[in-house]
Amino acid sequence: MTEITFPDKDVVVLERKNFQSLLDALSDSGYELLGPTVRDSAIVYERIHAVDELPVGWVDVCEPGKYRLVKDKKKTLFGYTIGSQSWRRFLHPPTNKLWEATRDGNGFKVIQPEPDQVKRALIGVRSCELAALAIHDKIFSQGQYIDNSYRERRRNLFVVAVNCVRPGGTCFCASMKTGPKATSGFDLALTEMYVSNRHYFIVEPGSKAGKKLVDKLPVKQPKESEIKAAQKELNRAAAGMTRTIDSEHIGKLLNKKFDDPHWETIAERCLTCGNCTMVCPTCFCTNMEDSSDLTGQHAERQRKWDSCFTMDYSYIHGGSIRSSVTSRYRQWMMHKLVYWQEQFGMLGCVGCGRCITWCPVGIDITEEARQLTVTE
């Protein structure tokens, strides 16, 4: 495993007592703050204004099919690992109006929605989630087909990442090379430290906007001991992940297993509920819905999240292409670990572990990948 280090320059220290100044500086710059908070006994991402709205002192316990929050003696702000939601809903929302039309004499008039120009700051984005953002950037805003709605939201984004000094119970980002330390895709990256009752943050700017914001904060230069302590915590987090996927070879290995009988074994447990696709930070399957009012004067088209686990998703005239549970689970897992590489040149899984935690029957993608490739 590659040793995790910090850059030699620009890194500063922000004391916990001054953390509100970071939020205030973003607000003063016109950003709507979106961050983690506790609701319904889970970490969710919502609009926030003050540091006290963050999940102060809460840590999450994640296992296959199990999730709970527990109080910790340390009053850390980001002691949890990841929330029950992913950040994609702010850039690729669950429901998005594409256009509406109204009758205009003997014809009709198409009205495009106004672009979303709200400036948003995401507070507490984990390194695996940065990798997911990079995937969506490539899919939606690069190449031949551009999603203007996504690109506009992304253009106005400020990202405050938080490095993971505590791995979650279902995390495997280290093996996917997406964490636990953020290496790109952020404006600021924070490493929260709680040492000998001292609470502070190592702050690493990752963009010109990030450096500009740091200049507004009451920060100081770090000591060598502070940097080494943070590096030690991050390396310990990487080494502490018990789940792995061979990200370098998994695509080639799984491609040989399309007809393996183990897919049937998985299907006996799978409920095809779609939870894994709803919590995943990289899934982007959608469906189009057209509707009109009773007068026939107005119609609109909306794009809504869908899931490859639903029967209708693969429906073509005459029936569903993937009518069995086996075929649908296999499509999901093969798309993440095989087909995605062929389509986009990257894996579709970032190792966040949400699909494991929020699967009602605790199906573990890392274990199923191991079972399918163990004989290779």
pLDDT tens-digit series, residues 10-39: 999 999 999 999 999 999 999 999 999 999
Global pTM exceeds 0.85:
yes
> Among 74, 95, 79, which Cα is nearest to 38's?
79
How far apart are alpha carbons 283 and 332 in whole angstroms?
10
Residues of the chain falling short of pLDDT 50: 376
* Residue 334 pLDDT: 96
DSSP 64-95: TTEEEEEE-SS--SS-S---SS-THHHHS-SE
pLDDT, one tens digit per residue, over 42-55 is: 999 999 999 999 99
* Residue 1 pLDDT: 60
How many CB atoms neighbour CB 128 within 10 A?
A: 29
80: tokens are 């949890």
Assess contact for 307 and 285: CB atoms under 8 A. yes
